Amino acid sequence: MRYGMVIDLNKCVGCYGCVIKCKQEHFLPPDMTWGKLLISETGTYPNVIKHAYPVLCNHCKEPACVEACPTGATQQREDGIVWVDQDKCTGCKNCVDACPYQMRTFYSDRQEYFPGQGPTEYEKLAEMLYPLQNDIVVKCDFCVDRIDEGVKKGLKPGVDWEATPACVNICPAKARFFGDLEDPDSEVSKLINEKGAVQLHPGFGTDPSVYYIYSGAMPEYSFISRSSFPISAKYSLPLFLMTAKRVHQDVQDEDKGRVAQPADPPSTQKSKENYDSHT
């Protein structure tokens, strides 16, 4: 068993519902989100297209964060979920540096939402239901508490609401899907196979458990290959997403030992220059 997620970029409307629900579910403090939504645009006014890229911890099959953790605080369960044991975390941030997707956050001293006015009822509940220790690293855990409690009741994650991650449940466009990647009959497996879903940066070699169904309206050029990528790719989501066509082409090129890459067409070069000027 290996839990994973599929996000359909054709359906995502960029409403931030997943971001807010994740924050609410885990009682996260100000200025902290585990799920994120990055936005980009292509085209020239008035023919401009907005692109929404939801991102979260990828719960990689070969997680670099687990290898980097010196205390064993970052662990991987048998079902593939990567989580952090607060009691073992020393806040060294090795995992933060090791994560190629930059999806981890260092937490220190919970701040009030309204400084000087005392904690809200929401913040009081946070201390009761989801307390965070100081000076530790935190991240998305696929709502592991929901999954475990649901499984105990005989429910199936990705099918039954009570056993499914909150971000999947809340999505009004039904753009998120969750389930067992190793079950060929699961909805996520069928979507990956039928829709040609792709991972973010497969070249990192971590084998992410989050897949994306690519939108045909998004730019088809690729800023990165499976073997190299610009540093800015860690912070610019247009550099993250790879189309299935490009990924497959890169694999074929590497297998053939191809070194030189064909020059981008003028339209693509112009699009890149426009993007770089805004970053």
What CATH number does residue 231 fall under?
3.30.70.20
pLDDT over threshold 50, residue 164: yes
CA 273 – CA 2 distance, rounded (Å): 40
| pLDDT above 90: percentage of residues in the chain | 61
Written as six digits, the tokens of 7 are 């996000």
- Most confident segment among 153-162, 195-204, 235-244: 153-162
pTM of the predicted structure, to 2 decimals? 0.78
Alpha helices (runs of H) in the chain, residue ranges in sequence order: 17-25, 64-68, 94-98, 121-129, 144-152, 166-170, 187-195, 244-255, 266-276
Task: Residue count of the chain, please give it.
Answer: 279
Please tell me which residue, 46 or 75, carries the higher pLDDT value: 75
pLDDT in the model for residue 42: 81
Range of the domain at 139: 3-276
Q: What percent of the chain has pLDDT over 70?
A: 77
Tally of structural domains, the chain: 1
Instruction: Give the per-residue pLDDT at 53.
Output: 87
pLDDT at 181: 97
Mean pLDDT of 164-179: 97
Contact 174, 168 (CB under 8 A): no
- Does residue 5 register a pLDDT over 50? yes
pLDDT tens digit string along 72-96?
999 999 999 999 999 999 999 999 9
Where residue 254 falls among pLDDT bands split at 50, 70, 90?
low
Residue 152 has pLDDT above 90, yes or no: yes
Mean pLDDT of the chain: 82
